[in-house]
Amino acid sequence: MSLIPKSNVPLFLLLLIFILPHIGIAEESSLVEVLRNHGLPAGLFPQSVKSFKLDQMGHLEVHLDHPCLAQYETTVFFNTVVKANLSFRQLKVLDGMSREELFLWLPVKDIFVLDPSSGVILIDIGYALKYLAFSHFDEPPVCRSPNGLAFLMGGRKGIGFSDQ
């Protein structure tokens, strides 16, 4: 004995097709939750994150509303799209994030937590490792739009800078 009359099966299937995608939305994790579940602080990305994709291999792609600058210990530039590989306690940045160091913009290569009890997060900017307090990254920072001619011309790359 079936719970659904046979005459309503096509209608039921059609209804299911439209409802199932919306049920999944409530189960999706926020980027903050994903970072915390991977042993990383919630505030690695700014509040202006529009969406993100994380595949089974750990490839993370974060989309922001616009390029922006966030303040941690120093200023960090986020491009509209940040690509990285995510693993437990490590974010290996491939493209889209730079940190200001002594008036230079250096690409962020790695962000990792060696020992959570130490309260320290390490940031690899290629030429040096920066040890920062975990507390700088407790909450996603506000991201301000960069002003000026350089960003109107296409960001740092528009005036000759490139990630290496």
pTM: 0.73
Task: Give the separation between CA 96 and CA 83, rounded to whole angstroms.
Answer: 6
**Average of per-residue pLDDT values in the chain:** 81
Give kind and range of the element (H or E) at residue 155: helix 155-158
Predicted pLDDT of residue 46 = 96
Other CB atoms within a 10 A radius of the CB of residue 140 amount to 20
Q: Between vectors from CA 98 to CA 69 and to CA 163, what angle results, nearest 5°?
A: 135
Domains along the sequence of the chain with CATH: 31-158 (2.30.240)
Q: Is 138 exposed, middle or buried (0-12, 13-18, 19+ CB in 10 A)?
A: exposed
The answer to whether 31 touches 52, Cβ cutoff 8 Å, is yes
The more confident residue out of 49 and 161 is: 49
Q: Is the pLDDT of residue 141 over 80?
A: yes
Model confidence pLDDT, tens digit, residues 16-31: 455 444 433 333 579 9
